[in-house]
Structure 1
Amino acid sequence: MEYRKIGKKEVFSREIEIDVPGTLLSWDFYTEHRRIGFGLYFRPHGETDCGELEKPGLSGKQEKGRASAGGKDLVEILPTSNVKASRNLVSGEHKTHAAGLYVFRFDNSFSRNTKRLHYLVQAADTQKNRFFAGKVYLNWTSGFFCGWSRKWAVLHESGLLELKTPTNSHTRKIDLNTASPILETRKNGILILTPNNLLRLKVRKADEYSKWAHALSPWTEKSGVQPPTKPCEAETTDDEDVFYDVSEEETTPGRRRKLPCFVQPRNISMASLIPTLLGSKKGSLPIEIFEPLSGLQKLCEEIEYIDLVRNALGEKDARDMLPWIALFALSGCASLAARTGKPFNPILGETFEYTCKDLNIRFVGEKVSHRPLVFATHTECLQNTFTMWTTCTTHTNTSFSGIELVSDGETHLVLNNTQDHFVWSRSGVKTKASFSSKKSLGLDGVLEIRNLKTDDSFSVCFQKKGLFGSQKNAVSGAGGNGRKEYAVTGQWDSAVQVRELATERCFVWTKNSPVQHAEAQFGFTAFAVSLNEVTDDLFDKDTQRWNIPPTDSRHRRDIRLLEEGEFKEAAREKERAEKIQRENTLPGKHTGKWFAPSVSSGGWEFTGRYWDPEEKTQ
């Protein structure tokens, strides 16, 4: 499209010379401010000359003062009339009846305001260059600020989408043939997933959105990426103070591969952090900081690479087991890669269960203390080959620059066939995530792994990022029994190698690939996406009873709303849950329902009663 500024009290004419009668003329235009006059006129060949025309038969001129119909020598085809060109694209066609000069007049002589006109007039080849245009709003982020900016979008038949600023000073071009446009009809939204970015567009009016949906249909159908249907929102109940039910209609067969909604990453408003940083009791962290998982679900992510433990079970020598266990302990950090969101703080007494027959494991966790914050988890193999348990204490420091998470506690892993007992602690490891527009995350500290049966040990150091980003996310370390027998190299967010120095044998771990369009799904892997899913086996349709306790994290409505992209509603539900937590947290020691304090270890032990169906559904 062409662009022209039409000053106040001015008229702009665009002329096309037609030599062959029957030629089809077409016009498409819109303005960025209110109305403009438009008319079409004709001057036959051989009559009064109107001046030299620009080649190839197109001419444009601008004149001061209010004009008449265009001169006595012009024949009126469409009389000049004011049209609302700022609301919609104005289009039309006319089949010429005679050879001559056809004049398109854009009249701003009635206005004292300058009009910005985007137009395209064509002859004969109209059908070869069709397009659709209209006003949209683009979501943007810059530093700590975000919002919606008005754009003029032009969609060409070739698949080129142009987003123009109101002043036409900048045009952003997107090739839909290499992108995946997705329609969010519930929000009048359009998501465009490009190879390197995610764009979120919004159309204000439903009728305009339906036109955009029709214009984009060739590419939305071709991309094959469709937004999942939003699950039915469950209503809150007064029977459970903290936990919320979800409708059985949410269940879907199999494990899901994507979240219910694609979400554009949002920056943090610094003003929303001030009450929390100043110590206000009513201060609540903004919802943009969080990801749709609870702290217990985050701990469950550490068993994603449980196959490394099975590799250890296949070793005959206990010394060859330790490298696999060291890689497994290190792989628990991989869930932090490409993730800067904070998991939701579980409610006191909240639980989470995860059973996966493909991996032959089942996991259960419970928040057993609020102050200090203590989680207890238990994982076991369905074939009874190993057992793992964790007691974890976490502390969060929030500042204007980001979040620092300090974890303390131990993880124990026992191989039942050999009674090898491995233990590791991350008490010296700190996780730091920034709030800036270029979000980053790093680990600092040392991870220690020991085999209590053989006294072999591993020590893995998280190296600090060097100048200009060198050694980013790098790890190094060594292992053995009193002397260096193994060397550790790699990056904790992608791949790590343990090399046996004597035999040059290598033990390797590589991170699983994230889901498709992970940048719009909180950076989740397929395993993380499945954690908050409500599957058919969790609800018995015959007895109309849940097979998980009402305290399970899947019942939390704030997490459910956030993964659906409902930020405002999720923030309200989070504040509601936090208020109930403050009111119900009484001084004194809380007694866990599924875990009991251990006198010998100082941690929490699994009682085993959870797996009784009658016990856990009461």
Structure 2
Amino acid sequence: MSGEGEGEGQGSGGGWGSWGMSLVESVGKTLTTAMGYEEMEVVDPNAGEGTENANGTADWKNNTSLDRRGMSEESKSFWGQISQMIGSDVTSMLSVPVFLMEPTSVLQKMAEIMEYPDLLTKGAKATEEAERMAWAAAFAVSVYASAERTWKPFNPILGETFQLKLGKDYEDGEYIAEQVSHHPPIGAAHAETPYWSYDIVSCPKTKFLGNTLEVYPVGRTRIKYKTTGEELAMVPPTSKAYNLVLGKIWVDTYGELIIENITNKWKTVIEFVPCGYFGGGRYTVKGNVFDAEGKPALYIDGKWNEGVGYQQCDRETGAPLAGSERTEMWAASKKPEGDAYGMTNFVHTHLNAWPGGGLLKSDSRLRPDRAALELEKRAEAQTFKHKLEEKQRAEKTKRIESGDGWTPRWFQLNNDMELRDFEYSTEDCPPWTFKQFPEKGDLVDVKQDYHESAEGTFSPWQYPDEE
């Protein structure tokens, strides 16, 4: 069930919710598919029944009504194998077929937090300390609006990269991500604008408990406001998949999102309310910005799939003040209707599109399996995916035989990094830091319609001439 090329995983605090959700959803789908229940979907526990397509059979993309009781002998045998994983980290144990996947890579999924970069820009321009913290919280929550997709992104090849030009008009800044480790899967990313910088290292852990799967978003995320010199560090909440074996699969994110201002000791704590009976509390977030003395300064609330805002609060209890003016910080963009994968417009216009010009040959957009799946050529996508996995295995073998190491191009280990008390250790989350953006000579010209040329262009390889 394991494979060098396509182990499951990679969640953390930057595409945070997306990461945890992607992992638990893909594992759940893999289990149920292998047991003969391909039509199961990751669902909201309060969702409606499934639909039927034109020929009267269940629509496997949308069906939420099936139950997995009454397993066949073959399915029971499979579960016997799966049960041996109970208590284990399954980050690299499962391989997912293309028909369960969406045409993005994990590095692209990681970049979905950049859909609303203006939130950090507004934070950087804010004159009040409390407001700067609130805007950072809105930015952190905003990524969860894209976390309900139930498809697995492609796991990055070692050395794979993803570039992004920020903002609606591609003029607000730059973003780059690189897969710096394959086992364990670790991705690093950096964004730079005139007003702020953003850094993340993503290296999650999981715990499979039989009928549930917990995802611990191990990682390190830091944001720096260039206008004030303030540095913020974030720790996201936990995601959990329920009913992997019996009942309807559904995923919840719960616990605290914590943002610490390393510079002035201010802090924001946002509670992601766990889903209760009959869907009670679903999507709700609420919390406070606290000053350096630990007193509440602002109240923040909303829903992570809709929007959040802030208002003044009682300085002792933290409760919102009746009649105080509310500032709406963020509202989720409307998703396109009829999208087979439930993708946002941002995925179509920025993550899977390129305005043309220079791009690294290792960019996720140019993966031939991803590009083929985007064109709905699933058989080709599966073939390309297998070839990429085999090539990656061959490269690992050659590195071992030749004694070569792997050195990322755009990130480097910084063993002198100063850690904060609330951050993960360097053992749990290696200290990868940004080195540099690509220069013009590192890039190849890629046209807007790049899909047909992807196979001949994509190259994250250490030994590109080796077959």
Report the TM range for the smaller structure's normalisation: 0.5 to 0.7
Please point out which of 506, 513, 522 is paired with 2:334: 513
Question: Which residue is 2:436 aligned to?
Answer: 608
The correspondence for 1:580, drawn from 371, 391, 402, is 391
Deviation, 1:425, is: 2.0
- Write the deviation string for residues 129-167 of structure 1: whole angstroms up to 9, x where unpaired: xxxxxxxxxxxxxx92559xxxxxxxxxxxxxxxxxxxx
Give the superposition deviation at 1:568: 3.6
Kept in 1: contact 2:104–2:352 (CA 8 A): no
Give the direction of change, closer, same or farther, for the CA distance of 1:532–1:349 in structure 2 (3 Å limit).
same
Q: 2:311 aligns with which of 490, 493, 499?
A: 499
Indicate how the Cα distance of structure 1 residues 275 and 529 shifts in structure 2: closer, same or farther if over 3 A, else same: farther
Task: Provide the C-alpha distance between the structure 2 equivalents of 1:423 and 1:451, rounded to a whole number of angstroms.
Answer: 7
What does residue 533 of structure 1 align with? 352
1:401–1:551: structure 2 CA closer, same or farther, 3 Å change rule?
farther
RMSD: 3.7
Q: Residue in 2 aligned with 1:35?
A: none
Q: Give the corresponding residue for 1:304.
A: 115
- Name the structure 1 match of 2:239: 430
Other structure's SS at 1:301 match:
helix
* Structure 1 SS opposite 2:372: helix
1:494 CA displacement: 1.6
Between the aligned partners of 2:354 and 2:81, the Cα distance in structure 1 is 37
Q: 1:146 to 1:442 in 2, by over 3 A?
A: closer
Distance 1:197 1:286, change over 3 A: same
Counterpart amino acid of residue 406 in structure 2: H
Post-superposition offset of 1:589: 6.0
Look up the SS of the partner of 1:333 in the other structure: helix
Tell me the distance in 1 between the aligned counterparts of 2:361 and 2:142: 31
**Which structure carries more relative contact order (alpha carbon 8 Å, separation 6+)?**
2
1:367-516 to 2 correspondence within 5 Å? 367-381=179-193, 384-396=194-206, 404-426=214-236, 428-432=237-241, 440-481=250-291, 482-501=294-313, 504-508=324-328, 509-516=330-337
SS at match of 2:139: helix
Give how far 1:506 is off.
2.8
Is the contact between residue 340 and residue 439 of structure 1 (CA under 8 Å) also seen in structure 2? Answer: no
1:411–1:276 distance in 2 versus 1, CA, 3 Å = farther
Residue pair 1:401, 1:434 contacting (<8 A) in 2 also: yes
In the alignment, structure 1 segments of 5+ residues that lack a partner are 1-142, 148-195, 203-262, 539-546
- Provide the C-alpha distance between the structure 1 equivalents of 2:81 and 2:350, rounded to a whole number of angstroms: 29
Contact 1:276–1:283 under 8 Å retained in 2: no
The Cα of 1:350 is off from its aligned counterpart by 0.4
- Is the partner of 2:188 in helix, strand or coil? strand
Tell me the CA shift for residue 377 of structure 1: 0.4
Structure with larger Rg: 1
Change (3 A) 1:566 1:439: farther
Q: Which residue of 1 aligns with 2:317?
A: none
Match for 2:158: what amino acid? L
Paired with 1:376 and 1:535, the residues of 2 have a C-alpha distance of 21
Contact 2:157-2:392 within 8 A present in 1 as well: yes
One-letter code of the match for 1:352?
Answer: F
Name the amino acid aligned to 1:429. T
Give me the whole-angstrom Cα distance separating, in 1, the residues matched to 2:121 and 2:51: 39
Q: What's the offset of the Cα at 1:500?
A: 2.2
Post-superposition offset of 1:283: 5.8
Give me the whole-angstrom Cα distance separating, in 2, the residues matched to 1:401 and 1:265: 22
What is the alpha-carbon distance in structure 1 between the residues aligned to residue 333 and residue 232 of structure 2?
A: 24
Whether 2:367 is the aligned partner of 1:556: answer yes
- SS of residue in 1 equivalent to 2:407: coil
1:364 partner letter: I
Q: Residues 307-318 of structure 1: matches in 2 within 5 Å?
A: 307-318=118-129
More helix by share: 2
Q: After the TM superposition, which residues 327-406 of structure 1 pair with which residues of structure 2 at under 5 Å, given as runs? A: 327-337=138-148, 339-356=149-166, 358=169, 360-381=172-193, 384-396=194-206, 404-406=214-216
Q: Choose 508-517 or 274-283, whichever is displaced more.
A: 274-283
- Residues 368, 330 of structure 1: alpha-carbon distance in 2 compared, 3 angstrom cutoff: same
8 Å CA contact 1:349–1:367 kept in 2: the answer is: yes
Could you tell me which of 406, 409, 416 is aligned with 1:593? Answer: 409
Letter of the 1:590 partner, please give it: W
Q: Does the Cα contact within 8 Å between 1:275 and 1:282 map onto a contact in 2?
A: no
TM-score, normalised relative to structure 2: 0.66
> AA paired with 1:570?
A
Contact 1:450 1:458 in 2 (8 A): yes
The 3-state SS of whatever aligns with 1:551 is coil
Secondary structure of the residue aligned to 2:336 is coil
Stretches of structure 2 that go unaligned for 5 or more consecutive residues are 1-35, 41-48, 315-320, 418-425, 445-458, 460-467
Distance 1:597 1:327 in 2: 30
Query: What letter is aligned with 1:483?
Result: K
Distance across 1 between alignment mates of 2:138 and 2:101: 28
When residues 379 and 284 of structure 1 are mapped into structure 2, their CA distance, relative to the original with a 3 A threshold, is same
Taking the aligned partners of 1:347 and 1:309, their CA distance within structure 2 comes to 30
- Tell me the alpha carbon deviations over residues 550-599 of structure 1, each in whole angstroms, 9 at most, x when there is no partner: 11101112212222333343233323323333333356863211111122
Assess if the C-alpha contact under 8 Å between 1:396 and 1:404 holds in 2: yes
Q: Deviations over 1:387-421 (max 9, x none)?
A: 11111112356687576543211211112121121
Higher strand share: 1
- Closer, same or farther: CA 292–498 of 1 in aligned 2, 3 Å: same
Distance 2:128 2:435 in 1: 32
Structure 1 Cα separation of the partners of residues 381 and 212 of structure 2? 21
